[in-house]
Amino acid sequence: MTAPAKPATAPDAAYRTWIDHTTACATCRAGALCLTAVRLGRVWRKTRRR
Ligand SMILES: [Zn+2]
């Protein structure tokens, strides 16, 4: 079975990266402002733009 290769810029991948971070990052889990989360969210928004 061959899985479809997803480009790193796909909205799905960017969203997943962001979610993965927020669930693993102590700062994000505490509800504090995390620059990494902000950056990842920005990247995700960019990929969503059509
Ligand atoms: Zn974070």
C-alpha 10 to ligand 1 mean position (Å): 21
Sign, CA dihedral 44-48-49-50, equals positive
Write down the pLDDT at residue 7. Answer: 56
What pLDDT is stored for residue 4 in this prediction?
66
Determine the distance separating the centroid of ligand 1 and the alpha carbon of 32, expressed in angstroms. 8
Q: How many CB atoms lie within 10 A of CB 14?
A: 20
Q: From ligand 1's centre to the CA of 40, what distance in Å?
A: 9
State the number of CA atoms in the 13 A half-sphere of 24 facing the CB. 7
pTM of the entire structure? 0.72
Per-residue pLDDT of the chain (50 residues; tens, 9 = 90+): 776 665 556 888 999 999 999 999 999 999 999 999 999 999 999 988 76
Q: How far is the CA of 30 from the centre of ligand 1 (A)?
A: 9
